[in-house]
Amino acid sequence: MDNCVFCRISSGQEPAKFRYIDEEVMVIVNKLTWVPVMLLVIPRKHHSQLELWSSPVMNKMSNIAADFGCMYCPEGFRILSNFGGHGLQSQHHGHLHVIGGRDLGPYA
């Protein structure tokens, strides 16, 4: 998808700070910085957010997200997924957020 930034990152057409990449999944540093650790766990193949949650790659992504959370945020972290405009979803390519690096309080 030409207008999808995550598809362009996956194909090497757009730069990103990679923390992990294989044939199915990539982990990049989010450009947003409202907490010290903001990683995105993204399937290389385009899925909507809803499609992602019923996809076989979701199990792999959740394991990678938990591993990276433990590695980068040993004091604790959150794994988030946003759905739709009211859920603050800004990219149509499904993905998970791993956030932490400080006390996140009751809400992120």
pLDDT band at 108 (very low <50, low <70, confident <90, very high): low
Angle at 81 between CA 61 and CA 17, to 5 degrees: 60
Cα separation, 31 vs 39, whole angstroms = 9
- For residue 78, pLDDT over 70 is answered with yes
| pLDDT of amino acid 24 | 97
Give the start-to-end residue ranges of the domains of the chain: 5-100
Fold of 5-100: HIT family, subunit A (3.30.428)
pLDDT band at 88 (very low <50, low <70, confident <90, very high): low
Decide: helix, strand or coil at residue 84: coil
DSSP letter at 60?
H
Mean of pLDDT values over 56-72: 97
What's the pTM? 0.91
Q: Which residues contact 41 (CB under 8 A, 6 or more apart)?
A: 25, 26, 27, 61, 64, 65, 68, 95, 96, 97, 98
| pLDDT of amino acid 16 | 96
Phi, psi of 67 (to 5 degrees): -60, -45
- For residue 105, pLDDT over 80 is answered with yes
Give 12-36 pLDDT, tens digit per residue: 999 999 999 999 999 999 988 889 9
